[in-house]
Amino acid sequence: IRRNAGEPEFHQAVHEVLESLGRVVAKHPHYLDQALIERICEPERQIIFRIPWTDDAGQVQINRGFRVQFNSALGPYKGGMRFHPSVNVGIIKFLGFEQTFKNALTGMPIGGGKGGSDFDPKGRSDAEIMRFCQSLMTELHRHLGEQTDVPAGDIGVGGREIGYMFGQYKRLNNRFEAGVFTGKALVYGGSRARTEATGYGNTYFVESMLKTNGTDFDGKTVVVSGSGNVAIYSIEKVQSFGGKVIACSDSSGYVLDENGIDLALLKDVKIQRRERISEYARRRGQGAHFIACDKGTIWDVPCDVAMPSATQNELSGKDARMLVKNGVIAVGEGANMPSTPDAVKVFRTAGVLFAPGKAANAGGVATSALEMQQNASRDSWSFEQTETRLASIMRGIHDTCYQTADDYGAPGDYVLGANIAGFVRVAESMRMLGVI
Ligand code: NDP
């Protein structure tokens, strides 16, 4: 704790994984050798740098950039970039740590990393975003490479930002190295279904969980927090499975739409126009209401399935108790660590089917690995082919977590299953690579 002072999110993520490992080391004490667990909690490398850029008024602005290269035992570091004013080294470390186990769960040859900046893209012009991305990449490019470290998107980083960062990387290196970034647009080496993958993947995972309990999404009432990339494509897939999504949100509040979210309108408000969620309620009219964040939380809305897809610690113990009281049967974490430890405890104690983020939202990075495969073979797969692979990867992750929980005497505990299965794969590789 002293070595990682002032990093509560990192402590929280490490604590949750270590809590699950008691059963593993009881069965396989060799994982205690060679300080393996201590090494797995220590990032291999952390880069912190200055990002100077000029705004539209001619004023020089300074932001801080981060890249935490957490673990490369299974392959090149892989994980997104986040642009949000709350970003600090502790948040990037928690995300990189989670990413290491998530990537292991996909079964693909990718290590774990994460990066970002405390830059706030809200209200910035296109030209400002471009200058910022170029300045960031002017430093970061020397630390990346398709065999070294492969970033992607996250909060505040979508196709536009990835384009600007990749463009600057290409210019500085004088190399068209498509596999150095994922989440690229189709026209310059992106993969079909990558944009949709995290939201679709979480929905496939929850569908598998519901099926183990003899049910499915059809006719269920669903609440999805956030209205960004993960939320929008979760809503799309849930609707295609027959579920009715009645609420979504952004950081200003949430909308409750009794008739079910109108996805085309939501995409227009959030993707095309980049407006606030209250605009959705205003344009939708009857049956849709906007509730500001100081007037209530989205978790007060009664539902069968909850899919927190905004940010870390957005769902508290109190929220979880309300969801349980209202009869929730399943929770799928689209975001990274959206439920507080207290909330996770409430769900597990109440017997709610609970899919932890590192398993449920792995569809994005899995499809990123498919994008790397397509780049390496200079190929481009159809949407159907890519989605079929994604669906089978998500069912595979579900089954691995389910089976592992069973093997370790905790049937139905997906948190334990995900932590143990992810840990064992990374730990096995680290043992074979020696003390490095
Ligand atoms: P986006 O930037 O596209 O959307 C984020 C959404 O969450 C927005 O609606 C945003 O609202 C809301 N939000 C962000 N911060 C807060 C906050 N502090 N309080 C309330 N609402 C907030 O990001 P993504 O959809 O890509 O990411 C969402 C989550 O999913 C993150 O935890 C991310 O790490 C995780 N994830 C993403 C993957 C991906 O492929 N994109 C892969 C795996 C996990 P507002 O616009 O008002 O800020």
pLDDT of residue 101: 98
Q: Is the dihedral of CA 427, 431, 435, 436 positive or negative?
A: negative
Q: Residue 1: its pLDDT value, please? A: 74
CA distances in angstroms from 206 to 312, 316, 348, listed in the order given? 19, 21, 15
The structure tokens 């996805």 sit at 263
Mutual orientation of helices 89-105 and 383-407 as an angle, nearest 10°?
Answer: 90
Measured over the CA atoms of residue 78, residue 79, residue 80 and residue 81, the dihedral's sign is negative
Residue of minimum CA distance from atom 13 in ligand 1: 310
Bridge partners (DSSP) of residue 415 are none
364: nearest Cα among 130, 220, 163, 151: 151
| Count of beta carbons in the 10 Å neighbourhood of residue 318 | 14
CATH of domain 195-355: 3.40.50.720
Each residue's pLDDT expressed in tens, for the chain with a length of 436 residues: 788 999 999 999 999 999 999 999 999 999 999 999 999 999 999 999 999 999 999 999 999 999 999 999 999 999 999 999 999 999 999 999 999 999 999 999 999 999 999 999 999 999 999 999 999 999 999 999 999 999 999 999 999 999 999 999 999 999 999 999 999 999 999 999 999 999 999 999 999 999 999 999 999 999 999 999 999 999 999 999 999 999 999 999 999 999 999 999 999 999 999 999 999 999 999 999 999 999 999 999 999 999 999 999 999 999 999 999 999 999 999 999 999 999 999 999 999 999 999 999 999 999 999 999 999 999 999 999 999 999 999 999 999 999 999 999 999 999 999 999 999 999 999 999 999 9
Say how many Å lie between the CA of residue 311 and the centre of ligand 1: 5
Closest-lying ligand 1 atom to the alpha carbon of residue 252: 47
* Residue closest to 292 by CA, chosen among 284, 307, 281, 304: 281
Q: Select from 67, 7, 69, 15 the least CA-distant residue to 37.
A: 15
Closest ligand 1 atom to residue 227 Cα is: 9
Nearest CA to ligand 1 atom 37: 154
Where do the H-state alpha helices sit in 184-331?
194-212, 229-240, 263-267, 278-284, 317-325
Pocket test for ligand 1, best of 68, 155, 202 (most atoms within 8 A of CB): 155
Q: Which two tokens stand for residue 59?
A: 């004023």
Distance from the alpha carbon of residue 84 to the mean position of ligand 1, in angstroms = 10
Amino acid at 20: S
Residue with CA closest to ligand 1 atom 10: 250
Fold of the CATH domain 42-185: Rossmann fold (3.40.50)
Q: Do residues 358 and 418 make contact, with C-beta atoms less than 8 angstroms apart?
A: yes
Q: What is the pLDDT of residues 340-369, one digit of tens each?
A: 999 999 999 999 999 999 999 999 999 999
First to last CA, the chain: 22
The DSSP code sequence of 64-90 is EEEEEEEE-SSSSEEEEEEE-TT--HH
CA 285–ligand 1 middle distance (angstroms):
26
Cβ–Cβ < 8 Å for 119, 51? yes
Q: What is the C-alpha to C-alpha distance for residues 193 and 264, in angstroms, rounded to an integer?
A: 18
In the chain, what's the furthest Cα-to-Cα distance? 64
Which residue CA neighbors atom 29 of ligand 1 most closely?
Answer: 335
Question: Which atom of ligand 1 lies closest to the CA of 232?
Answer: 25
Ligand 1 pocket: which of 129, 160, 251 to mutate (most atoms within 8 A of CB): 251
* CA distances to 111, 164, 167, 221 from 96, in Å: 10, 23, 24, 33
Tell which atom from ligand 1 comes closest to the C-alpha of 152.
Answer: 40
The preferred substitution site among 84, 224, 311 for testing ligand 1, maximizing ligand atoms within 8 Å of CB, is 311
Beta-carbon neighbour count of residue 254 at 10 Å? Answer: 29
ipTM: 0.98
Q: Which residues of 104-129 are buried (b: 16+ CB within 10 A; e: fewer)?
A: bbbbbebbbbbbbbbbebeebeeebb
| Nearest-CA residue for atom 23 of ligand 1 | 155
CA distances from 171 to 134, 185, 377, 427 (A): 10, 18, 23, 38
Hey, whose CA ends up nearest to atom 41 of ligand 1? 154
DSSP 3-state assignment of 20? helix
Nearest-angstrom CA–CA distance, 266 and 149 = 34
Closest by CA position to 339, among listed 379, 360, 374, 308: 308
In 3D space, the residue among 282, 258, 198 whose CA is nearest the CA of residue 232 turns out to be: 198
Q: Domain map of the chain by residue range? A: 42-185, 195-355
Active-site positions read: 114
Which residues have any ligand 1 atom within 6 Å of their CB?
Answer: 153-156, 198, 226-231, 250-252, 309-311, 314, 334-336, 361, 364
42-185 and 195-355, same CATH topology:
yes
Query: What pTM, to 2 d.p., does this model score?
Result: 0.98
**Chain position carrying tokens 């126009």:** 273
CA of 95 to the centre of ligand 1 (A): 13
Closest ligand 1 atom number to CA of residue 197: 40
What does the chain come to in residues?
A: 436
